[in-house]
Amino acid sequence: MKERRVVITGMGAISPLGLDTQSLWDGIRTARSGIGPITLFDASNLETRFAGEVKGFDANNYMDRKEVRRNDRFIHFAIAAAREAIAMANVDATTVDAEEIGVVIGSGMGGLTTLTENMQIMAEKGPGRVSPFMVPAMITNMAAGQVSMMHGFKGPNFCPTSACATAAHAIGEAAEMIRRGVATIMIAGGSEAVITPISVAGFNANKALSTRNETPETASRPFDVSRDGFVMAEGGAILVLEALESAQRRGAPIYAELIGYGLSADAHHITAPAPGGEGAGRAMKMALKQAGITPSAVDYINAHGTSTGAGDIAETMAIKSVFGDHAYKVAVSSSKSQLGHLIGAAGAIEAVICVLAMQHQVLPPTINLVTPDPECNLDYVANAARPGKIDIAVSNSFGFGGHNVSLALRRWSV
């Protein structure tokens, strides 16, 4: 069977910059920060007291009130983002074979809010008061399960969990299913709602988070010499991936083509990247090879760029090792400077940003880049978006445990 081409026909986003893809793009192009003080709970006793929260979100706008109570916030985000993406792509299980439509939505940490709330209930009131909906609200696969049930999609359905590489894995594996003929349309992405006391305390304990509490909007500063850790964030993002011939037959809008998927393991350390970004480099090389393009064809790289000391340097070194002299010509930026780190949803929100950047021919910025680290000396599109030709973009996602994913996307033109 001839391998099928995979295109993107819909996108949805719930993020610290807004409740849809247009709000996300408006925030990106205007270099706005979505980071602020934590309001979801009292964070006064924590070392880090800020995050990238989703503001103004009401799950009741997307589902029945009873279902809102039975599902965790990370599932709410997935349902909302999927709804926007599915509407954009005009996918309907009554007009397209439901068994040809699958869902792969990942989450790095799942329903932490549900888990911690029920642990407190058990401690205070006993096991008989634990909610019967705790487990289905908490487990990471239920975002994919709920989206499939709500829309009647009966194709492949599962949930990858690979820390910060989760959503990129979801997109890549969904595309592979379409290429192999296992499905025709895949709803793919990630969702995360990890702004909880225990998760912030845990990341503080391993010294991963910024503690720039006085100026939270400047705390995420990838590639800057004064960076002091990443900023936690929440949200969800979904792409509708579709076989090209199906999209053309349906007359669906086509926004971009997913042309390459690379993945690798560092096999090095539970949190630190491999020396020189070796594993990350292999993932990028694999994505370019599958895409059938040379490094010089890439116009823009949406970096993983977490604002951590070792991570930013390792990724910069990886880019140099793969792209050679072209590394100094290709635009590189980190959307986490504006959004914070959406953990299991990061790869999807950043893939959406790549598609929007290609649509608008605008290079997204890295904000808060005041004094570049001498070891980070590429073009990071500092502090303001700028016009730029983007025909091919690469999106990088690297997770704790040494999980590396790189996605290559091409601008769609008829």
What pLDDT, on a 0 to 100 scale, did the predictor assign at position 94?
85
Q: Does some domain include residue 338?
A: yes
Q: How confident is the model at residue 3 (pLDDT cuts 50, 70, 90)?
A: confident
Among residues of the chain, what percentage have pLDDT more than 90? 98
Please identify every residue annotated as catalytic.
164, 304, 341
Residues 260-289: tens digit of each pLDDT: 999 999 999 999 999 999 999 999 999 999
Let me know if residue 110 belongs to a domain: yes
Model pLDDT, residue 2: 72
35 close to 231: Cβ distance less than 8 angstroms: yes
Mean pLDDT of 103-118: 96
Do residues 233 and 308 share a domain? no
pLDDT tens by residue, 342-380 = 999 999 999 999 999 999 999 999 999 999 999 999 999
Q: What is the 3-state secondary structure (H, E, C) of the chain?
A: CCCCCEEEEEEEEEECCECCHHHHHHHHHCCCCCCEECCCCCCCCCCCCEEECCCCCCHHHCCCHHHHHHCCHHHHHHHHHHHHHHHHHCCCCCCCCHHHEEEEEECCCCCHHHHHHHHHHHHHHCHHHCCCCHHHHHCCCHHHHHHHHHHCCCCCEECCCCHHHHHHHHHHHHHHHHHHCCCCEEEEEEEECCCCHHHHHHHHHCCCECCCCCCHHHCCCCCECCCCCECEECEEEEEEEEEHHHHHHHCCCCCEEEEEEEEEECCCCCCCCCHHHHHHHHHHHHHHHHHCCCHHHCCEEECCCCCCHHHHHHHHHHHHHHHHHHHHCCEEECCHHHHCECHHHHHHHHHHHHHHHHHHCEECCECCCCCECCCCCCECCECCCEECCCCEEEEEEEECCCEEEEEEEEECCC
In a domain, 360, yes or no: yes
- Distance linking the first and last C-alpha atoms of the chain: 25
- The residue among 198, 226, 250 that closes a domain is 250
367 and 298 fall within a common domain: yes
Distance between CA atoms of 327 and 318, rounded to whole angstroms?
10
Window from 73-77, 166-170, 268-272 with minimum mean pLDDT: 268-272
pLDDT of residue 413: 82
pLDDT, one tens digit per residue, over 378-409 is 999 999 999 999 999 999 999 999 999 999 99
pLDDT at 180 over 80: yes
> What distance in Å separates the CA atoms of residue 345 and residue 256, rounded to the nearest whole number?
20
The mean pLDDT value for 121-129 works out to 96
* Inter-residue contact 278 to 317 (CB < 8 Å): no
Q: 230 and 147 in one domain? A: yes
Give the closest residue to 342 by CA, choosing from 148, 143, 95, 165: 165
Encoded tokens for 250: 């349906």
Domain CATH for 213:
3.40.47.10
Q: Residue 237 pLDDT more than 60? A: yes
Please give the pLDDT value at position 278: 96
Is residue 255 in a domain?
no
- Identify whether the C-beta of residue 4 lies closer than 8 Å to the C-beta of residue 16: no
Separation between Cα atoms, residue 412 and residue 257, nearest integer Å:
6
d(C-alpha 159, C-alpha 108), whole Å: 10
Greatest Cα-to-Cα distance within the chain, rounded to the nearest angstrom:
64
Domain of 308, in residue numbers: 260-411
Q: What's phi and psi for 31, nearest 5 deg?
A: 60, 40
Do both 245 and 264 map to the same domain? no
Spatial distance between the Cα atoms of 226 and 219, rounded to a whole number of angstroms: 9
- The answer to the question of residue 183 being in a domain is yes
Rg (CA), the chain: 20
Q: What is the rounded average pLDDT of the residues 253-266?
A: 98
pLDDT band for position 224 (cuts 50, 70, 90): very high
Three-state SS across 30-93? CCCCCCEECCCCCCCCCCCCEEECCCCCCHHHCCCHHHHHHCCHHHHHHHHHHHHHHHHHCCCC
Per-residue pLDDT band for 93 (boundaries 50, 70, 90) equals confident
* Mean pLDDT of the region 338-344: 98
Q: Nearest 5°: phi and psi at 10?
A: -160, 155
**Does residue 1 sit within a domain?**
no
One domain for residues 201 and 331: no
Cα separation of 179 and 6, whole Å? 7
Arithmetic mean of pLDDT, 197-209: 96
Average pLDDT over residues 154-167: 98
Q: Identify the domain boundary among 250, 281, 308.
A: 250
Same domain, yes or no, for 315 and 338?
yes
Contacts of 342 (CB under 8 A, 6+ apart): 15, 52, 190, 192, 233, 234, 235, 236, 237, 349
Q: Domain boundary residue among 180, 215, 250?
A: 250
Number of structural domains (the chain) is 2
State residue 1's pLDDT score. Answer: 56
Domain-located, residue 17:
yes
* Residue 394, pLDDT score: 98
Clarify whether residues 175 and 320 are in a common domain: no
Do 174 and 280 have their domain in common? no
* 275 token code pair: 């020396």
Verify that 240 and 284 share a domain, yes or no. no
The whole-number pLDDT of residue 46 equals 98
Q: Is the pLDDT of residue 158 over 60?
A: yes
Both tokens of 46, joined, read 């924590």
Residue 414: pLDDT above 80? Answer: no
What pLDDT score was predicted for residue 54? 98
Residue 286: what residue type? M
What's the pLDDT band for 240 if we cut at 50, 70, 90? very high
Distances (CA, A) of 68 to 174, 175, 260, 392: 27, 30, 37, 39
- Going from the C-alpha of 282 to that of each of 41, 172, 265, the distances in angstroms are 41, 15, 9
User: Are 360 and 225 found together in one domain?
Assistant: no
Across all residues in the chain, what is the average pLDDT?
A: 97
Are 232 and 267 part of one and the same domain? no
Report the percent of the chain where pLDDT is more than 70: 100
| Inside any domain, residue 401 | yes
Q: Is the pTM higher than 0.85?
A: yes
Q: Are 180 and 2 in contact (CB under 8 A)?
A: no
**Residues 71 and 147 occupy one common structural domain:** yes
